[in-house]
Chain A
Amino acid sequence: MNIAILKYNAGNNFSVQCALKRIGYEAVVTDNPDIILNADRVIFPGVGEAKSAMNYLIENKLDVLIKRLTQPVLGICIGQQLLCNHSEEGDTDCLGIFDSNVLKFNPKDSNFKIPHMGWNTLQNVSDFIPEDIENKYVYYVHSYYVPVNCNTVATTNYLHQFSAAMHKDNFYSTQFHPEKSGDIGEIILKRFIEL
């Protein structure tokens, strides 16, 4: 099993690599197109800001590369957001794999802090998110979200329901950080690798 973690300016690559190692898989962190195209699984992680991340992908022609991928690809956090059409963060045009737009949380109540930071539960789980993970906690850090749509395979409620995980064709994604979500996160990563 060859796993490539996409190297770019907004990735917490090392954390993802460590999480994979804990579940018994070695992964390479790379921006080499040949290695990425030939990998069995590609992980597109991310923390940071959409505009600068997307600019970096374009400058390094990684945007074209990602769209060409045919093996299972997992976008994490900003990775999920960049797989959508457009993000309100920096008014950024994204990769357009998922036909959805990324919106900013807009709380009218001081009890809802932004970023949405910490552990929240998964609901309506299906597809690559295992059934027994319904209502389990996963770790989030984000200020933007993807609304629930036809590709949503799990939701979380913060202010309202949003897409916790998505799947379309060979593209999979999570808004939460499986690499930082304890045992539950490791189960989800393992499930993706063993698809």
Chain B
Amino acid sequence: MLAKRIIPCLDVKDGKTVKGVNFVNFKDAGDPIELGKKYSQDGADELVFLDITASHEGRKTFIDLVQRIAQNISIPFTVGGGINDVCDVEKLLNAGADKISINSAALKNPSLIDNISRNFGNQVCVVAIDARFNHGQWVCYINGGRIPTNRNLLEWAYEAQERGAGEILFTSMDHDGVKTGFACEALSMLHDKLSIPIIASGGAGDYSHFHDVFTTGHADAALAASIFHFNEIPIDKLKLYLKERNINVRI
């Protein structure tokens, strides 16, 4: 049976993870490769690395980093941030990334999804959507959640699927960082609307939130950052918790 996936997300700036981490046994707690290995050993099913560097130099470092991750980690990994065209995708895939994630660039230029999936296959193209519930509907935002668009979550997610997205990574901005659980209602609506896998993001704060997102939210995968970085919820313990509650996970 296909397992539900647990995916830690690492923000990378100039080749180092930026969010504080409190794992103690590392030579360098900010080294994304060491963190990736640690997560992989703990049972993470995939990893997501987001490049939040703005500079050209930082970008070069990131591509070198992707290559080193590919050499050292034996599970799939997705990279996102700063991808604007097919050339950016090609560089990352050649460096060993398995999937790429696009967000604002896709909303600004939806045909980017068609181009990526036509060139590299649907499975490569993860479309990330940041949305917030405003006046009775889920509105998509761009530029790291700073600018609202006139696009609605369900309609945009469906369009992305039809254009060739292989997965949707939905972050609820209302739930992100609040740690009161994922946006299960919106996720369930997405599940009804789409035929591609959905990764839920935003809101994880407790073991039970993961159970909820896989049951009432029907998510295929759950992504989180700080609760894993700060070891509040170790991945191996989370998976045991889910398994005991009949959620199919890879242990």
Footprint of B on A, CB under 8 Å?
12, 14-15, 18-19, 21-22, 47-49, 107, 110-111, 113-121, 137, 139, 141-143, 157-158, 177, 179-183, 185-186
Give the residues from 179 to 215 in chain B that come closer than 8 angstroms, CB to CB, to chain A: 191-192, 194-198
A139 to B45: give the CA distance in the assembly, Å: 9
Least Cβ–Cβ distance between B79 and chain A, in angstroms = 13
Count of inter-chain pairs, beta carbons less than 8 A? 90
Q: From the candidates B74, B196, B218, B221, name the one contacting A114 in the complex (CB within 8 A).
A: B196
Footprint of A on B, CB under 8 Å?
1-3, 5, 40, 45, 70-72, 74-76, 93-96, 98, 120-124, 166-167, 191-192, 194-198, 218, 220-221, 250
- Residues of A within 8 Å of B197, CB to CB, are 113, 115, 117-118
Known interface pairs A110-B195, A113-B196, A118-B221. Does A15 touch B98 (Cβ–Cβ under 8 Å)? yes
Q: From the candidates B1, B71, B198, name the one contacting A121 in the complex (CB within 8 A).
A: B1
| Chain A residue nearest in CB terms to B98 | A180
Q: With A22-B74, A115-B197, A143-B122 given, can you name 9 additional A-B contacts, CB distance below 8 Å?
A: A15-B70, A19-B74, A22-B71, A113-B198, A137-B3, A141-B123, A177-B76, A182-B74, A182-B75
Least Cβ–Cβ distance between B4 and chain A, in angstroms = 8
A15 to B123: give the CA distance in the assembly, Å: 16
**Is A48 in contact with B121, judged by CB distance below 8 angstroms?**
yes
| Chain B residue nearest in CB terms to A49 | B121
Secondary structure at chain A's binding surface: helix, strand, loop or mixed?
mixed
A182 to B94: give the CA distance in the assembly, Å: 20
- Residues of B within 8 Å of A111, CB to CB, are 218
A181 to B121: give the CA distance in the assembly, Å: 20
**Is A118 in contact with B220, judged by CB distance below 8 angstroms?**
yes
Some 9 contacts from A to B, beta carbons below 8 A apart, are: A15-B96, A15-B98, A49-B121, A115-B196, A117-B166, A119-B2, A142-B123, A181-B75, A182-B74
